[in-house]
Amino acid sequence: MLNFAIAQCNFTVGGFEENTRKIIDGMQRAADTKAELVIFSELSLCGYYPGDLLEDKAFLKACDGALELILQASKVHPDLVIVLGTVRYHQGPGKALHNGLLAIRNGSVIAEYHKQLLPTYGIFDEGRHFEPGQEGACTLSIAGHQIGFMVCEDGWNDEGKDYKVNPYAALERAGVELIVSINASPSDFGKRQQRHRLFTQAAIAHQTPIVYVNQIGGQDQLVFDGYSFAVSPQQGVIFEAAGFAEDFACLQFDRGIFSSAAGSLTNVDEDGFAPAEFARRQIVLGLKDYARRCHFTKAVVGSSGGIDSALTLALAVEALGAENVIAITMPSAFSSEGSVSDSQKLCDALGIPLLSHPILDLVNTYGTGFSSAFNALLKGLSLENLQARVRGTILMEYSNSFGALLLTTGNKSEISVGYCTLYGDTNGGLGLIGDLYKTEVYALSRHINLSAGREVIPEDVLSKPPSAELAPGQLDTDSLPPYEELDEILKWHIEGQRLPEAEAARAEDFVQKQLATETGAATIQRILGMVARNEYKRRQAPPIIRVRARAFGSGRQMPIAANYQF
């Protein structure tokens, strides 16, 4: 029987001291439980994904130093095998590095494997830095069991659609009894279920159980959700570690079956969190780690009295605590009474201060200066954008003066069509809801209220018509279709078949019905043109926390100067 431990950790890119400590602590915990094997995630030593830090000699030297500390620490537990991910060097033509897996015991590397399939699509760019490993299997006998290894993407090509190589085939030929896969698999809607489905199919196809160890935590736009699991042909997904949290678990393996000395294992619930709760946990964890790793303890948000800023504030309070979140209202000549009163209701419910900085005098001063300098009145779109830019400047002044992270409040619907002001409401360090469509913003807000059993986000905020309040009587629907319609068009255009199956079918059906009418077809063409024309805004906007399979940022790379209104 093999006793092994899964160490699901929150590793930091470049945080070698912290990462090394987590690994050594995990080794000690595994040894205490009499485990013969402990497994960490992909690139656990340096954190995933280092990007062009992999071209920095000091970074690589620090990585080598951290590995040496692990090797020395392993001598304290001479019978324990430690499996972890780290950068390895490649000799010969090609890239200078490999994405490597090491098996360590008693101060020595006893097995080494290099990732064969390097994802270079969507949010991934591993081909930029790594050379693919040689084809073939890496195996190791532990406690009488023949174990094979793979790294993340290696396990996603069993159907042979994306790569010519299938690492499963070599492991099957090697006759392994168990596959250990170390991963840094980012989270999005439906990703957990997708992992379960693909790795269950692979376990059945090759009649080999698999242990899948994932990392957790937020890294820039990405969030890793954990959910490490064990799957066998006979049992299905029989164990799953915590989601959105560090976890440590001890399991046993014998004759193709997983078990636990701590109690019987039961099949894992496939449904998981509802979409709104999933988005909430994803965003909260993403903000926590972004703030921590960028050395922010406080956040500031411009509060308009609208739904976007209300949801942003509620999520910020959950992530950072009410004592660390500040709201600022900045009424103008066009602000409704509710922009301030609804902001106050919200802040009272959240237990946070609402500071006031009216902008009327500042806007008037700009208008006077504009007329004097250019012999023209400041009006129309220029006046609307000025108000947003004055507000953005005030928020950045606060951020600079008091060290608070400015959170932008744009949602995916508005960011898609450019319904935002560059250097105004796009100012900030991080966007929390930039990968949620407007209809999802409402759904998550109502979910937060339902979960709390009270109006965290006031009903007055939820029920008012959306408005930028930059002109008299202005409503979002003056410029855009209703969000229920706009969001279907945007999902169809931006994400398409990357959507969950039911969502993709619904968007496709809506768009085809619109295209069948002259008015609907014209609306769709107008929206596609707006998306294309506003790429320059998205390129300059802050990073947003990714929730969906295709988010703006590294996951959607489009040219700015191009004609692609289709």
Q: Is 251 helix (H, G, I), strand (E, B) or coil?
A: strand
The whole-angstrom separation of Cα 325 and Cα 312 is 11
Q: Which of 98, 33, 104 is CA-nearest to residue 69?
A: 104
Using a pLDDT cut of 90, give the percent of the chain over it: 85
Q: What pLDDT was estimated at residue 420?
A: 92
User: Side chain identity at 85, as an amino acid letter?
Assistant: G
Task: Name the amino acid, one letter, at 213.
Answer: V
Position with higher pLDDT, 263 vs 307: 307
Residue listed under structure tokens 């006759």: 175
Average pLDDT over residues 552-559: 82
46 assigned to active site: no
pLDDT over 60 at 45, yes or no = yes
DSSP lists the bridge partners of residue 254 as 257
Among residues 51, 52, 151, the alpha carbon closest in space to that of 99 is found at 151
When mean pLDDT is compared across 131-145, 299-313, 495-509, the lowest value belongs to 495-509
pLDDT band at 109 (very low <50, low <70, confident <90, very high): very high
Q: Which residue is listed with tokens 């208008």?
A: 367
- How many whole angstroms separate alpha carbon 179 and alpha carbon 211? 6
Find out whether 238 and 230 touch, Cβ atoms under 8 Å. Answer: yes
Reported as half-sphere exposure (CB side, CA atoms, 13 A), residue 411 has a value of 24
* pLDDT per position as a tens digit, 143-201: 999 999 999 999 999 888 889 999 999 999 999 999 999 999 999 999 999 999 999 99
Which structure tokens are listed for 264? Answer: 């019987």
CA–CA dist 483, 487 (Å, integer): 6
Residues present in the chain in total: 566
The residues facing 532 across adjacent strands are none
86: confidence class by pLDDT, cuts 50, 70, 90: very high
Judged by DSSP in three states, 512 sits in helix
Map tokens 């090797």 to a residue. 71
> What is residue 170's three-state secondary structure?
helix
Q: If residue 200 lies in a helix (H) or strand (E), which one and from where to where? A: helix 191-206
Distance CA 553, CA 544 (A): 8
CA angle 315, 321, 327 (to 5 degrees): 65
- Please pick, among 152, 250, 347, 420, the residue that the annotation labels catalytic: 152
What per-residue confidence (pLDDT) applies to 476? 67
Q: Confidence class of residue 468 from pLDDT cuts 50, 70 and 90?
A: low
DSSP assignment letter at 276: H
Write down the H helix ranges in 266-327: 275-293, 307-320
564 confidence band (pLDDT: 50, 70, 90): low
Pick the catalytic residue from 115, 288, 438, 491.
115
**Complete domains list, the chain, with CATH:** 2-272 (3.60.110.10), 277-474 (3.40.50.620)
> pTM, whole model, 2 decimals?
0.94
C-alpha distance from residue 187 to each of 123, 140, 227, 566 (Å): 12, 30, 10, 29
pLDDT exceeds 60 at position 127: yes
**Can you tell me the distance from the alpha carbon of 269 to that of 231, in angstroms, rounded to the nearest whole number?**
13
Question: Distance (Å, rounded) from C-alpha 379 to C-alpha 432?
Answer: 32
**Which range has the worst mean pLDDT, 26-40, 390-404, 551-565?**
551-565
Residue 470 has pLDDT above 70, yes or no: no
**Beta strands at 178-182 and 2-8: parallel, antiparallel or unpaired:** unpaired
34 part of the active site? no
Classified as helix, coil or strand, 302 is: strand
* pLDDT value of residue 471: 62
Q: For residue 347, what are its two tokens?
A: 């802040």
Residues 6+ apart with CB under 8 A from 478: none
pLDDT tens by residue, 388-413: 999 999 999 999 999 999 999 999 99
In the annotation, is 42 catalytic? yes
Beta strands in 373-519 (DSSP E): 404-408, 430-431
pLDDT at position 566 is 55
- Annotated active-site residue in 9, 22, 36, 42: 42
pLDDT for residue 282: 98
pLDDT digits (tens, 9 = 90+) for 245-294: 999 999 999 999 999 977 778 888 888 899 999 999 999 999 999 999 99
Kindly state the average pLDDT of the residues 219-233: 96
Task: Collect all residues with Cβ–Cβ distance below 8 Å to 121 and sequence separation of at least 6.
Answer: none
Instruction: Give the separation between CA 223 and CA 137, rounded to whole angstroms.
Output: 30
Q: How far apart are the first and last CA of the chain?
A: 59
The answer to whether 305 and 342 have CB atoms below 8 angstroms apart is yes
Provide the pLDDT for residue 474. 63
Q: Is 506's pLDDT higher than 70?
A: yes
- Of residues 434, 164, 158, 470, the one with CA closest to residue 311: 434
State residue 469's pLDDT score: 58
Return the minimum-mean-pLDDT range out of 359-363, 475-479, 537-541: 475-479
Residues 6+ apart with CB under 8 A from 441: 307, 308, 311, 411, 433
Dihedral of CA atoms 516, 517, 523, 529 in degrees, nearest 10, equals 50
Q: Are 549 and 188 in contact (CB under 8 A)?
A: yes
Is residue 560 pLDDT above 90, yes or no? no
Please say if the pLDDT value at position 519 is more than 80: yes
Between 17 and 561, the higher pLDDT residue: 17
Give kind and range of the element (H or E) at residue 13: none
Cis amide bond preceding 113, omega within 30? no
Backbone angles phi, psi at 254, to 5 degrees: -160, 130
